[in-house]
Amino acid sequence: MGIKMNFISGLFGFLFLDGLLLCTAADVHHYDFFLQEANFTKMCSTKSMLTVNGSFPGPTIQARKGDTIFVNVINQGTYGVTIHWHGVKQPRNPWSDGPENVTQCPIGPGTNFTYEVILSDEEGTLWWHAHSDWTRATVHGAIVILPAAGTTYPFPTPYEEQTIVLASWFKGDVMAMISTSIQTGANPTQADGYTINGEPGDLIRLLQCLTVVAQDAAYIKPINTTYIMITPGQTMDVLFTANQTLSHFYMAASPYHDSVLTFPNSTATAIVQYEGNYTAPSSPFFPALPAYNDIDAAQKFTNSVKSLANEEYPINVPERQLQA
């Protein structure tokens, strides 16, 4: 039994059965994003923060390769915000790309703006996020792009899919933090910890043993590994295979850091829970992660990433002719 995981790493720092539609034309999807303040309690403190539709992370956008998505953003917050569709190429459509004061003015409080998100050759997992100062720390979510209708993955169709969003958590007001940093010249406050799907510890039903098959909505040659090295703003598609003894296992996320500067060296965990009849252990098995500064482990993973580059998914590399 296999399961495909869509991993997303937040810039500061998803479950459905898959079936192929029988139509052939690209579809149009509509979403409403309400920017609004909501209270959250985590790590023994409560704060109000800007969200989309009152959730953290925000809602997942699901479409197919070649589809078009209209997202109506209604700003019920207190300051201007824009939304960026990270990794979506947006051919000939820069005015819906989202960088604040570059391709558009901020969406002011009490106003709305409808984005047209045009999918072209992207296939896999991407993410959307606010593109206004540090608002992206709380305003972000997944974009899951399935294969075009009538096609399938370049690997066996997984039993089910689950999206995992990795992010940083700040106990304070992120907008106040960055404003203070800009005014004083001091370094911004560091994150207080990390989250998996919005929680420092969360229960998700997953299976294990992983193969990385895509990165930033582009297929790669499969990488069989016991860990992944994912950088801020990056996304990956990972296959899990259920080949362990029925039990509970921890999934853990911790930082990689090769600098002398201080950083929040903490670990976020979730539980990989097998389905079936068995007695759960008193404490799940904890995976062995590389050390926070293990540069060899980081380079081993990144050096393994290579384009799929087959007939169905070719890579056109520009060639420069050298003159004698």
Phi, psi of 234 (to 5 degrees): -95, 155
Helix or strand run (H / E) with residue 178: helix 174-184
| 3 CB-side CA count, 13 A | 25
Instruction: Check residues 126 and 285 and name the one with the higher pLDDT.
Output: 126
* 8 A C-beta contact, residue 227 and residue 290: yes
Q: 322 falls in which pLDDT band (50, 70, 90)?
A: low
Question: 12-57, pLDDT tens digit by residue?
Answer: 333 232 333 334 468 999 999 999 999 999 989 999 999 999 999 9
Sequence-ordered alpha helix ranges (H) in 20-162: none
* 8 A C-beta contact, residue 214 and residue 33: no
SS3 135: helix
pLDDT at position 63 over 90: yes
Question: 181-225, pLDDT tens digit by residue?
Answer: 999 999 888 899 899 999 886 544 444 578 999 999 999 999 999
Residue-level pLDDT at 283: 85
Using a 10 angstrom Cβ sphere, with 0-12 exposed, 13-18 middle and 19 or more buried, the burial of residue 220 is buried
Domains, the chain, in order of start with CATH, read 20-150+173-178 (2.60.40.420)
Residue 258 has a CB neighbour count (10 Å cut-off) of: 9
pLDDT at position 241 over 60: yes
Residue-level pLDDT at 22: 36
Residue-level pLDDT at 250: 85
SS3 234: coil
Torsion sign, CA atoms 186, 192, 194, 197: negative
Q: Could you identify the residue written with the tokens 């997992």?
A: 125
Computed over every residue of the chain, the mean pLDDT equals 87
Question: Beta strand pairing status for 28-42 and 68-75?
Answer: parallel
Sequence-ordered alpha helix ranges (H) in the chain: 174-184, 295-302
Dist CA 106 CA 114 (whole Å): 12
Q: Could you identify the residue written with the tokens 């709380």?
A: 138
Dist CA 74 CA 34 (whole Å): 5
Residue-level pLDDT at 92: 93
Question: 1-22, pLDDT tens digit by residue?
Answer: 556 666 565 433 332 323 333 3
Question: 76-123, pLDDT tens digit by residue?
Answer: 999 999 999 999 999 999 999 999 999 999 999 999 999 999 999 999
